[in-house]
Amino acid sequence: MTTLAETVSDSVTITRRNLIKVKRVPDLIVFATLSPIMFVLLFRYVFGGAIDVPGDVSYAEFLLPGIFAQTVVFGSTITGASIAEDLQKGLIDRFRSLPMSRSAVLIGRTVADLGLNAISIVVMALTGLVVGWRINTSVGEAVGGFVLLLAFAYAVSWLMAVVGLLVRTPEVVNNASFMVIFPLTFVSNAFVPLESFPSVLRTFAEWNPVSTVVQGARELFGNVPAGAPLAEAWSLQHPVFYSLLWAVVILIVFVPLSVRLYVRTSTR
């Protein structure tokens, strides 16, 4: 019914609307950038001394891709909270009563949040360079590393959109998503080497897509220690492919599901 061109045009309108909010509410951008800076500094200087990294790489180099991944995955939770907020304020009702594309509100939302994540990652990368993180590969590979991180985060945004449409209260969305995101990011290789985990947790961490995104980013930025032991799990041997596969599967499941929920949703 709605053509592709109309969907694109509506999505652009909604993306613009969401980005205007980022401009008008500076807190959003401040928190999206300050908390990652804080994480970089905390881990680098507080835990850095206590965490042993195998091979000949500094903890800063090991750490930064982990911080990147954690931050963009956390950043994606904004999608759920924002959709719940729009539902609560009756804006989703207004949009649903308009002759606009039925997927544009969700596309515009996730694209705007992707933009916010991109800003966070730039700020973190600059902070990282100050504290000793380095890119040791080509420009192309480095760009690939950032794309991998953002692509995975974009997929998580759609998962969060479903959470927002189901839960409907921004505060609850935040709490609920932290319950999931915290274990996913901490039971991974983001901050500590996998060798330090007990066996069951280690298997979980090896197949955890956050680990593979981090591993993939480390490879693409050249932050994998030269003397590090080779990963045993297949997922960690092919981290980029495995991570992108996750992103694609999440999108295949959650894009149609969230559009369906959006079409059916109703505040009473």
Partner 1 sequence: MSYAVVVEGLLKRFGKTTALGGVDLTVSEGTVLGLLGPNGAGKTTIVRVLSTLLLPDGGRAEVAGLDVVTEAAQVRSMIGLTGQYAAVDEYLTGRENLEMVGRLYRLSAREARRRAEQLLERFELTDAANRPAKTYSGGMRRRLDIGASLIARPRVLFLDEPTTGLDPRSRLGMWEFIADLVGEGTTILLTTQYLEEADRLADRMVVIDHGRVIARGTADELKAQVGGERLEMTLADAGQLGAVAEALRPLTHGEPRLDAQTRRLSVPVSGGVDALAEALRRLDGHSAGVLDIGLRRPDLDDVFLTLTGHAAEGDEPSDEQDESATTVSAGANR
Chain residues binding partner 1 by CB under 8 A are: 1-2, 6, 9-10, 13, 16-17, 20-21, 24-25, 89-91, 93-100, 104, 266, 268
Residue number with CB closer to partner 1 (99 or 198): 99
Residue number with CB closer to partner 1 (35 or 265): 265
Residue number with CB closer to partner 1 (4 or 50): 4
Taking the complex as a whole, the smallest distance from the CB of residue 101 to partner 1 amounts, in Å, to 9
Distance CA 207, CA 200 (A): 11
Please check whether residue 167 is in contact with residue 238, taking contact to mean a CB–CB distance below 8 angstroms. no
Taking the complex as a whole, the smallest distance from the CB of residue 33 to partner 1 amounts, in Å, to 19
Distance CA 216, CA 61 (A): 14
Taking the complex as a whole, the smallest distance from the CB of residue 3 to partner 1 amounts, in Å, to 11
Taking the complex as a whole, the smallest distance from the CB of residue 17 to partner 1 amounts, in Å, to 6
Taking the complex as a whole, the smallest distance from the CB of residue 12 to partner 1 amounts, in Å, to 9
Distance CA 219, CA 233 (A): 16
Residue number with CB closer to partner 1 (16 or 122): 16
The letter for the amino acid at 231 is A
Residue number with CB closer to partner 1 (93 or 141): 93
Say which DSSP state 268 is in.
-
Angle at alpha carbon of residue 135, lines to 131 and 137, rounded to 5°:
165
The per-residue DSSP string of 178-199 comes to: HHHHHHHHHSSTTTS-GGGS-H
Distance CA 62, CA 16 (A): 36
Q: Does residue 200 sit in helix, strand or coil?
A: helix
